[in-house]
Structure 1
């Protein structure tokens, strides 16, 4: 079982709203493309598809506030800069970053089974 950290959650979040975003995501355990082919251990197979299913479940079930959900959508779904996302929400860019940090932390905690 892979623990979900902030980096992994931030990497996976765009796939919640855009299924094609998954094509640009590389598995952190995959070898570099220029490495020679070797044997494959099925026990260490890629967990990318499980991660994609988990992030969608985490988005739906994590205890996020409305402001955090809006900030995450604007940042990771629409890819707006913090200042533009803040203008749409009526807050500062710094407040958007704070909401995104809290939201990502809550999703990671939920996926790891913490409150």
Structure 2
């Protein structure tokens, strides 16, 4: 099983709203296209589609606050910069970055079956 980290969650988030974005997402475990063909591990071959299904399930089920959900949507669905999100929500750029950071952390923790503890990369095993 592949653990979900912040980088992977951020990489997959655009596919929640844009199904065609999946065509541009590269499997992080796949070799470069110019590399010679080798053997394929069947256990890891179809993992990208599982990730796409998981990120959509995570978006629907993860208990995000409204501000976090809105900031994630504006950033990853509409590709808005921090300043525009901040102006729209009437908050600072720093508040937007915090909401995005916290939202991505909550999604990663939820996908890993753990509780999110506020703070960078501090995750506790769900009890």
Deviates more, 1:32-41 or 1:21-30: 32-41
Higher helix share: 1
Q: Deviations 1:42-75 (Å, cap 9, x if unpaired)?
A: 1231300000000001011111000000000010
Q: Using the alignment, how far apart are the partners of 1:110 and 1:104 within structure 2?
A: 10
- In the TM superposition, 1:34-113 aligns within 5 A as 34-113=34-113
**Structure 2 runs not aligned, ≥5 long:** 116-127
- Structure 1 unaligned spans of 5+: none
Deviation at 1:106, TM superposition (A): 0.3
1:7-18 equivalence runs, <5 A:
7-18=7-18
Alpha-carbon distance in 2 for matches of 1:31, 1:46: 14
Q: Deviations over 1:4-35 (max 9, x none)?
A: 00000000000001001111111111000110
**Matched residue, 1:5:** 5
Q: Which residue of 1 aligns with 2:121?
A: none
TM-score by length of 1: 0.96
Paired with 1:9 and 1:73, the residues of 2 have a C-alpha distance of 13
**Corresponding residue pairs, total:** 115
Structure with bigger RCO (C-alpha 8 Å, 6+ apart):
1
Contact 1:14 1:77 in 2 (8 A): yes
Contact 1:29/1:46 (CA < 8 Å) preserved in 2? Answer: no
| Structure 1 stretches of 4+ moved >4 Å | none
